[in-house]
Amino acid sequence: MTMDSTSEKQWKVVTTRKIDGIVDEVKEELFDVMVVCSGHYFEPKIANIPGINNWPGKQMHSHNYRLAQPFTNQCVVIIGTRPSGMDISRDVANVVKEVHLSGCSWNSSVDFAKPMGQHQNIWPHSTICYLFFLDLFPL
């Protein structure tokens, strides 16, 4: 578990990038909020990622997303690059510090080292393999 210097709870997200089935890169990053966008239309489908059920903070499915304002000035990870994930990432990009968009179905031309979108604060990531909740300042 972790809390940053402002005592906010955060996700530690570990992603892997595979090329031809072989792990090419592993990254660890911290986020304030997680939005899961892996459902189909109105039927919520939660991603099966080890550690996702241990998160005590903000976590929501795209089915419940309405407004970007509750995410203002936060660092958000969105799981799912289908239409709802892409739409929400573009919407919240207007108010958040950063959006990190994780998916398994990226076009081969996507450059993971460069931001996407008009605000240049949407960062593409490969599939999330597991999650940790960190507590840097335990009581």
Query: pLDDT tens, 43-95?
Result: 677 778 888 888 777 888 888 889 999 999 999 999 988 888 999 999 999 99
Quick one: pLDDT band at residue 119, thresholds 50, 70, 90?
confident
Please, which pLDDT band fits residue 26 given cuts at 50, 70 and 90? Answer: confident
What is the mean pLDDT of the segment spanning 28-48? 72
Of residues 22 and 1, which shows the higher confidence score?
22
CA-to-CA distance for 137 and 139, rounded, in angstroms?
7
- The dihedral sign for the CA sequence 85, 52, 49, 126: positive
- pLDDT recorded at residue 7: 47
Q: What is the pLDDT of residue 103?
A: 87
Whole-number Cα distances in Å, 121 to 23, 91, 131? 26, 12, 22
Q: What is the pLDDT of residue 136?
A: 60
pLDDT at site 81: 87
Whether 121 shows a pLDDT value over 50: the answer reads yes
Binned at pLDDT 50, 70 and 90, residue 2 comes out as very low
Max CA pair span of the chain: 46
Average pLDDT, the chain: 81
